[in-house]
Amino acid sequence: MGSAPTMVEQHTSREDILKRFTTIEQLEADTEKLHEMACAVCAETWADRGKKQTPHCKFGEDGVCCRVCSMGPCRITPKASRGICGADEHTIAGRHYLRMATAGAASHSDHAREIAHVLRESSPEGNFKIRDEAKLIRLAKEWNVETEGRDIYDVAHEVADLGLMEFGKPFGTQRFLKRATKERQELWEKEDLAPRAIDREVSTSLHMTHMGNTAEAEALVRQSLKVGLADGYGGSMISTLFSDILFGTPTARSTEGNLGVLEHDMVNLIVHGHDPVFSEMVVLASEEKDLQDLAKKKGAKGINVVGLCCTANEVAMRHGVRMAGNFLQQENVILTGAVEMICVDVQCIFPALGPLTDCYHTKFVTSSPVAKIPRSIYMPFGPDTARENAREIVRMAVDNFENRDLGKVFIPEHKQPASVGYPTEQIIYELDGVTNSHVEERGSYRPAIDSIKSGVLRGAVAIVGCNNPRVRPDFSHIEIMKELIANDILIVATGCAAQAAAKSGLLGKDAKFICGAGLRRVCELVGIPPVLHMGACVDISRMMLLVNEIAGDWGVDVTQLPIVGCAPEWMSEKAVAIANYVVATGIDTYLGIEPQVKGSAQMMELITEGTRKITGAGYIINTDPRELVKSIIDGIERKRAALGI
């Protein structure tokens, strides 16, 4: 249980409390100072390249440039309303949108496939073991795998095989669709949105968008929803659940966030990317005594592994590893001059890290054939050799400590305490504590539902996605979160949005002092922060499970819940896949960056209103964060009014 506020806390003004957080201006000042240092060593940053790319190509921004065949490229202009084949702006923008969703679904799902293969290779003596047997057994039973009297690894291998079949099975739809409410399952069936094998939906989407196939915008939007669902209830859900089985289901733990987690007197090793198979091993290797001793022999106090982007989320919530920051912080860590190595696996890795690390002593290690990058050291990483690979990587970082150039070092001091690791199980366990003080009996959604019904909590928002130089980076994340919690709206956060919260201090328990009275009471009763860290991008599948279970317990459809999604600064194709499965689940999704379909009135209508007629939800787009947050609050209040609460 959380503690009541002390007398001091009760009498501290909101202004004083706000001083405990790192402001956007402080974050920007740190970045500016680091960018000045980049200039001094002739290194280029995203800000320099961004200037050279501005203004952006209007055809690309509007989604009306097509190059899917070599008769083109074709652009839609006032004097050319169709491409050479006759495709109009709706077809061109729609095809591009579906291709984005497809690339996103393929990326999450290929990540999942790797993890399924690792589960298949798991063994008691091997590098990868089963850490959450109970979750494995529950999943085995759900999938009708015999568990009685069997070795746990035999069960794991059969579950892994079934998981792998989800990618290519010739018949049937995704197994995890059954985790949605009955209403959703029926709707997906009726609307032909229930995804078949993941690879089938990816292939069909690419087939549909090949020259000379689908030209109807609505059909392209419908397939975007379907391929999105193949990600959300296929690839992402498999990835999340299999990771929990292999590495343990996360639990609440304390850590810190922002560049101040780098240490002057330690070997700083950054893990960046998405796949926990890689980062888990590096973290474990860094704890081995001989490597720690080697670091001391080299003059360091030890090895400081810190995370970046979604890898930060993965290792923070399972090990408490500290988090250096989000997507646009990846160059900043190098610019501190204090990083011996940045090692990466897949997704969201700037190719710029190659030339940038050349300006410093930092070693840049890539590990996956999926993400080979010029001017990196490529060290392939496999399940059989994982421990040796990881030890080699750590040893290389340690050896590099003596090459640090102290004249180039500047570590900004800002860092904030953060509570991380709130998967579905932990959230419901904590929220059940609002009315149930018997720890061992907790596990019901009723108290959470009752808190929303009574208005103590007005609702919940899932804030997800990247940060993006098209807007003021992190500003929207931080300002929207502050405004929502001040209005008694609980936040669950993943990905780089969660990292923005960590950098500012909003994942810390002090954030309760800037909440509305209702949310603050909940936070104090159960000892949670008002922004709950739920994990990486693939863990948005956890959010889908949470809303489906709450809707099921409440006895309403998901569309009726005062729960919405928000991606204020999204940038990646994965975000398009995510937004599609969130909307397909019946959850309104508020976007702060416009999808690149503005040149098609039909597409704009379809993604904001058209999907509502199919799934009951759509996008609400506003590039002004203050207006965006106001529309979120209004949307939640409208849903409450419709429910009569």
Footprint of ligand MSK on this chain (CB under 6 A)? 274, 309-310, 326-327, 348, 465-466, 495-496, 536-537, 572, 574
Stretch that binds ligand SF4, among 68-76, 230-238, 468-476, 571-579 (CB under 6 A): 68-76
Q: What's the min distance (Å) between Cβ of 259 and ligand MSK? A: 17
Comparison of 139 and 342: residue with beta carbon closer to ligand MSK = 342
| Residue 369 touching ligand SF4 (CB under 6 A) | no
| Residue 220 touching ligand SF4 (CB under 6 A) | no
**What DSSP string runs through 396-412?**
HHHHGGGG--GGG----
Q: What's the min distance (Å) between Cβ of 327 and ligand MSK? A: 4
Q: What's the min distance (Å) between Cβ of 328 and ligand MSK? A: 9
Q: What's the min distance (Å) between Cβ of 200 and ligand SF4? A: 24
Comparison of 66 and 118: residue with beta carbon closer to ligand SF4 = 66
Comparison of 76 and 103: residue with beta carbon closer to ligand MSK = 103
Residue with tokens 């169709």: 82
| Count of residues that bind ligand SF4 according to CB under 6 A | 14
d(C-alpha 86, C-alpha 76), whole Å: 11
103, 202 contact by CB (below 8 A) = no
Q: Which does 74 bind (CB under 5 to 8 A by kind): ligand MSK, ligand SF4, none?
A: ligand SF4
d(C-alpha 308, C-alpha 285), whole Å: 18
d(C-alpha 392, C-alpha 500), whole Å: 32
Residues 38-67 that bind ligand SF4 (CB under 6 A): 66-67
Comparison of 202 and 496: residue with beta carbon closer to ligand MSK = 496
Q: Which does 574 bind (CB under 5 to 8 A by kind): ligand MSK, ligand SF4, none?
A: ligand MSK
Q: Which does 73 bind (CB under 5 to 8 A by kind): ligand SF4, ligand MSK, none?
A: ligand SF4
Comparison of 257 and 447: residue with beta carbon closer to ligand MSK = 257
Measure the CA dihedral 354/359/362/365, to 10°. Answer: 10
| Residue 72 touching ligand SF4 (CB under 6 A) | yes
Comparison of 89 and 331: residue with beta carbon closer to ligand MSK = 331
Q: Which two three-digit tokens encode residue 325?
A: 């920051």
Q: Which two three-digit tokens encode residue 356?
A: 């940038």
| Residue 74 touching ligand SF4 (CB under 6 A) | yes
Q: How far is CA 168 from the centre of its chain?
A: 25
Comparison of 184 and 574: residue with beta carbon closer to ligand MSK = 574
For 515, what's the count of Cα atoms within 13 Å in the CB-facing half-sphere?
28
Comparison of 343 and 537: residue with beta carbon closer to ligand MSK = 537
| Residue 208 touching ligand SF4 (CB under 6 A) | no
Comparison of 449 and 500: residue with beta carbon closer to ligand MSK = 500
Q: Which does 310 bind (CB under 5 to 8 A by kind): ligand MSK, ligand SF4, none?
A: ligand MSK
Q: What's the min distance (Å) between Cβ of 220 and ligand MSK? A: 23
| Residue 69 touching ligand SF4 (CB under 6 A) | yes
| Residue 76 touching ligand SF4 (CB under 6 A) | no
284: β partners? none
- Choose which of 43, 64, 87, 434 interacts with ligand SF4 (CB under 6 A): 87
Q: Which two three-digit tokens encode residue 473?
A: 């980076």
Helix or strand (DSSP H, E) at 532: strand 531-535
Q: How far is CA 103 from the centre of its chain?
A: 16
Q: Which does 584 bind (CB under 5 to 8 A by kind): ligand MSK, ligand SF4, none?
A: none
d(C-alpha 402, C-alpha 592), whole Å: 44
Q: What's the min distance (Å) between Cβ of 121 and ligand MSK? A: 25
Comparison of 61 and 142: residue with beta carbon closer to ligand SF4 = 61
Burial (Cβ within 10 Å: 0-12, 13-18, ≥19) of residue 4: exposed
d(C-alpha 310, C-alpha 276), whole Å: 9
Q: What's the min distance (Å) between Cβ of 574 and ligand MSK? A: 5
The letter for the amino acid at 222 is R
567, 591 contact by CB (below 8 A) = yes
Q: In 3D, which of 267, 263, 196 has the Cα closest to residue 226?
A: 196
Q: What's the min distance (Å) between Cβ of 223 and ligand SF4? A: 17
Q: What's the min distance (Å) between Cβ of 429 and ligand MSK? A: 26
With a CB cutoff of 8 Å and minimum separation 6, the contacts of 100 are: 573, 576, 577, 596
Stretch that binds ligand SF4, among 71-79, 242-250, 393-401, 409-417 (CB under 6 A): 71-79
The 3-state DSSP class for residue 400 equals helix
43, 356 contact by CB (below 8 A) = yes
Longest dimension (CA), the chain: 73
Helix or strand (DSSP H, E) at 494: strand 489-494
Helix or strand (DSSP H, E) at 306: strand 303-308
199-220 as b/e: b if 16+ CB within 10 A? bbbbebbbebbeeeebbebbeb
- Choose which of 85, 359, 379, 486 interacts with ligand SF4 (CB under 6 A): 85
Measure the CA dihedral 299/305/308/310, to 10°. Answer: 170
Provide the mask over 89-108, with x wherever binding to ligand SF4 is found by CB under 6 A and - wherever it is not.
Answer: ---x----------------
Q: What's the min distance (Å) between Cβ of 496 and ligand MSK? A: 3
459: β partners? 489
Comparison of 310 and 334: residue with beta carbon closer to ligand MSK = 310
d(C-alpha 626, C-alpha 522), whole Å: 26
Helix or strand (DSSP H, E) at 291: helix 289-297
Q: In 3D, which of 82, 169, 129, 397 has the Cα closest to residue 271?
A: 397
Comparison of 404 and 533: residue with beta carbon closer to ligand MSK = 533
Q: Which does 643 bind (CB under 5 to 8 A by kind): ligand MSK, ligand SF4, none?
A: none
Comparison of 511 and 537: residue with beta carbon closer to ligand MSK = 537
Residue ranges binding ligand SF4 (CB under 6 A):
66-69, 71-74, 83-85, 87, 92, 211
